[in-house]
Structure 1
């Protein structure tokens, strides 16, 4: 297993992990049978060039230096980067063509979830602006000791347990780690009151950060922001559980099939008026508690519309037009349903029917599976 990463100095490198099957392992303890599967981190490979052939040569050279015989390699696992996973000229293709012809390539299923969420944020118009606000909140409270100390003091006043860093720390949103998006959303929800009070206090001080402070305060109290954060928290929370399970050392293909199918079914079941009404009830209660008017009619200076140049054209790309979202039905139709639909489309694309059938076949060998030995004579 190989993945690209950067060290603290910004130098690109490959991290290499080896998973093996130990068929000679023995134990005298019948109650605790040993695991046949072992996993070892072998080290980093520093890179100066990043083309597929160079990466292939460096991987082979690194493994050979550790006296690892490539003839025993039965599979390789990378993420979806084209230089690694390319069908004809990627590292996986070159390794099979030049060194290990019988090895199979496995796309990291946890990384596929990252691709799902990344594409969802691009396909729903309001999400890019939403994540921009989340990122600015993190930057605002982590680049200044004044803002950071103000937030901590107000957290103590609100009796938020500051010893639990997972609760009080505002998490950073990262492009390459989708689950950081869920943790950043979670941290904003848990610290919403503290963030609002901190910004209100900092606005009154009138420092050089006044414009940024006032802008973030208005953004946090915007009904569209609150609705979006609750919708994403609920939907991404289900995928977060799946992501954690897929990264577990004990996961196998049978369990992966069951978990993926279950999450897809759960998300599909959420697409109903009843589920949205339940969620909107929670949002309404939150807004009442924090003095936010949900269905307020915001006066807009200018409504962006489609240019007359496109009057008789079929437009298939975004052109700046935005729908005014200011009531529950529009929150449902323009955020809740589109996010669910986008997730389901991406999940179906990334976890294709053929792949799921393979996983289903493997899961049929497990006694815990509902399809155990299904179709066997």
Structure 2
């Protein structure tokens, strides 16, 4: 279990620091709570001073009766629990893909395409080679430009329900490597000796070249693009909850605006892609020619199907799911915290009473974090300690568990094949140094050598040259 603490330092800055990696016997809430207590005792930290706790949505973490958050709340009712916003945003995507039949079928086909293209080294190499040849040809004809970070070789990436932004990355690459993927599927069909593989590759090629698939691909790229930008901002270590809620509200409004006013432009993008890739564009006035309706004899136009039953329904599901997944935006606590925003009447009146309206450094404050730093720099935090304390409490509430996720990602650099039998304490110490390397880089080698020299008697004097 990785523990990260979040606090506001003496300069009014938000700080997140990796505290420790704790070995737990199991993942029950009781064991996790005991691990937290042991770390707090070791570092002389008091649970009574804790004001926020943030985890993912697992039952052992957020359970109402026996979850970790409840065990901590039983000891300190002031520890406001925040379900990781980035996790909740990912669950919005996952739930929508499960609730809408066409979207669910679409992602099933996407998974099959990714698996087919990446099932062997030979196929992955074939896909990379086809994409490489396409890029070289486009560069020679000056259709695209070369440059740092542009037109790099890439492969398809399997999406995962717990990997933030993975669905968006997969769809972007699928869209960008469209012709190369079709070429690879055709190669599998022509050279395949297994009849099942030949049948699957042919089916996937046909689905990939259909208007229906292209339409849903573009729709999900638009939707996941909006949520992906939000997800990246939520994962910033210095993000505060007031600004996060504002960003969520902005995303909701953008999605609603896209639903009301974005249909025509979206449809043009789909048709342009189809024309570029030689895919037949359907007539929106024609009757739907697939599905159960054909058997029932119902007459439904393509326009009604694609706009009402897919476009509007999916957007409505996303917007409603965001409302359900982020109930914090409507709680009394968060509404009151939003009053602390620098642009609200409350802070404006405080600015007036503080005689800082005409101060240049306060003129363009948009964020609560910057307000805290400037209050400290101008010593206004001493004049109005209660207001500053409220701002501090707002800033320390965790928005996302991205810092914890980064710690676990760093473990692959520490616990390698050559160091796979290290003890927990040694691994924790190395991980702390690696994760907080910006702090340790500021420590001079001489100071480290002196500390090591004084720990025990040495046969010879250490020097920085020897280090």
TM-score above 0.5, yes or no: yes
Q: Secondary structure at the match of 2:259?
A: coil
Cα deviation, 1:68-127, whole Å, max 9, x if unaligned, reads 332332211112222211222211011121x43432212212222122112211221112
Q: Secondary structure at the match of 2:2?
A: strand
Shift of 1:271: 1.5
Match of 2:36 in 1: 59
The answer on whether the counterparts of 2:117 and 2:185 sit within 8 Å (CA) in structure 1 is no
Answer yes or no: is 1:129 the counterpart of 2:105: yes
Match of 1:327 in 2: 302
Answer yes or no: is 1:259 the counterpart of 2:247: yes
Q: Secondary structure at the match of 1:249?
A: coil
Which of the pair has more CA radius of gyration?
Answer: 2
Moved more, 67-76 or 232-241: 67-76
Shift of 1:63: 3.6
Please give the alpha-carbon distance, in whole angstroms, between the structure 2 residues aligned to 1:67 and 1:234: 49
Structure 1 residues 334 and 301 mapped into 2: Cα distance closer, same or farther (>3 Å)? Answer: closer
The answer on whether the counterparts of 2:288 and 2:305 sit within 8 Å (CA) in structure 1 is no
Q: Which runs of 5+ in 2 are unaligned?
A: 137-145, 351-467
Q: Which runs of 5+ in 1 are unaligned?
A: 1-13, 24-33, 307-322
The answer on whether the counterparts of 1:85 and 1:93 sit within 8 Å (CA) in structure 2 is yes
Match of 1:284 in 2: 271
Answer yes or no: is 1:68 the counterpart of 2:45: yes
Higher relative contact order (CA 8 A, sep 6+): 2
Moved more, 129-138 or 291-300: 291-300
Please give the alpha-carbon distance, in whole angstroms, between the structure 1 residues aligned to 2:128 and 2:102: 30
The counterpart of 2:3, out of the listed 5, 16, 22, is 16
Structure 1 residues 82 and 304 mapped into 2: Cα distance closer, same or farther (>3 Å)? Answer: farther
The counterpart of 2:163, out of the listed 177, 186, 191, is 177
Match of 1:341 in 2: 316
Match of 2:66 in 1: 89
Please give the alpha-carbon distance, in whole angstroms, between the structure 1 residues aligned to 2:203 and 2:255: 34
The counterpart of 1:194, out of the listed 173, 180, 189, is 180
Structure 1 residues 37 and 354 mapped into 2: Cα distance closer, same or farther (>3 Å)? Answer: closer
Shift of 1:288: 1.3
Please give the alpha-carbon distance, in whole angstroms, between the structure 1 residues aligned to 2:73 and 2:332: 25
The answer on whether the counterparts of 2:230 and 2:251 sit within 8 Å (CA) in structure 1 is yes
Structure 1 residues 231 and 268 mapped into 2: Cα distance closer, same or farther (>3 Å)? Answer: same
Match of 1:320 in 2: none
Instruction: Figure out how many residues of one structure are paired with residues of the other and give that number.
Output: 334
Please give the alpha-carbon distance, in whole angstroms, between the structure 1 residues aligned to 2:87 and 2:121: 35
Shift of 1:350: 2.0
| TM-score, normalising length: structure 1 | 0.78
Structure 1 residues 289 and 124 mapped into 2: Cα distance closer, same or farther (>3 Å)? Answer: same
Please give the alpha-carbon distance, in whole angstroms, between the structure 2 residues aligned to 1:80 and 1:303: 40
Please identify which structure carries the higher helix content.
2
The answer on whether the counterparts of 2:208 and 2:214 sit within 8 Å (CA) in structure 1 is yes
Q: Secondary structure at the match of 1:76?
A: strand
Structure 1 residues 250 and 173 mapped into 2: Cα distance closer, same or farther (>3 Å)? Answer: same
Answer yes or no: is 1:80 the counterpart of 2:57: yes
Q: Secondary structure at the match of 2:22?
A: strand
Match of 1:155 in 2: 131
Q: Secondary structure at the match of 2:159?
A: coil
Answer yes or no: is 1:293 the counterpart of 2:284: no
Structure 1 residues 250 and 50 mapped into 2: Cα distance closer, same or farther (>3 Å)? Answer: closer
Please give the alpha-carbon distance, in whole angstroms, between the structure 2 residues aligned to 1:53 and 1:181: 34
Answer yes or no: is 1:352 the counterpart of 2:352: no
Structure 1 residues 326 and 240 mapped into 2: Cα distance closer, same or farther (>3 Å)? Answer: farther
Please give the alpha-carbon distance, in whole angstroms, between the structure 1 residues aligned to 2:320 and 2:96: 9
Shift of 1:163: 7.6
The counterpart of 2:82, out of the listed 99, 106, 109, is 106
